[in-house]
Amino acid sequence: MIGIVDYKMGNLASVRKALEYIHRECRITDDPEFIASCDALILPGVGAFAPAMEALKDKGLDAAVRKFAASGKPLLGICLGMQLLFSESEEGAGEDGNVKGLDLIPGSVRKFPSSATVDKGLKVPQMGWNKLEDVTGSLLREGDYVYFVHSFYCDPEDKAFAAAYAEYGIKYVCAVQKDNLFATQFHPEKSGEAGLQILDRFARRIKK
């Protein structure tokens, strides 16, 4: 069973439909106990970082995701879900500094610099298809085109966790892999056949 974490900020139906299309049993859930029982977990997300962290905390889902990550079972973050796995984000930063994340992957979430995007005629958010480059992650394939919608990007402290890069004004990490943790800034569930293959490879990580 693959659990899809429901904290009211994710593209849940699209993820579920994609998993059902590749014949994988899944369930949308906000129950920490059920999450713990799952064979694999997906943390999707659409929206802003700070409200997302608050939503996770409100139902104890932040602790549930951390506990699941520690179990060694496969966990996949998608888009905002990838960003939430990081230590902190510039999005919503205040006088107390950056907004704290789940801190499962050391590093920060940063805004695309204007000098690299606006000054080059690129719109933020990046919205549309882009190519995967310098792929090392086991779920991904070099040169695949996948679908992005985001204004911030992830900057891991240890670039050894970078599973793929993309180019949008700057070259940035668009996917990470750390032990049983996988995450993509793009949306595999909206990325056609390439995205379905990524989800299938993730599901194959489940131990029988």
The catalytic site residues sit at 79, 187, 189
Q: How far apart are alpha carbons 44 and 5 in whole angstroms?
A: 7
Distance between CA atoms of residues 20 and 95, nearest Å: 44
Q: Is 49 helix (H, G, I), strand (E, B) or coil?
A: helix
Phi and psi torsions of 155, nearest 5°: -130, 90
Pick from 141, 20, 2, 89: which is nearest to 186 by CA? Answer: 141
The residue assigned the tokens 């996770």 is 56
**How is residue 30 annotated by DSSP?**
-
86, β-bridge pairs: 105
> Minimal CA–CA distance to 110: which of 42, 157, 146, 147?
157
Which residues lie closer than 8 Å to 154 by C-beta, 6 or more apart? 82, 83, 86, 105, 107, 108, 109, 110, 172, 173, 176, 183, 185
Q: Residue 169 is encoded by which pair of tokens?
A: 């004004």
Q: Count H helices and E strands in the chain, helices first.
A: 6, 13
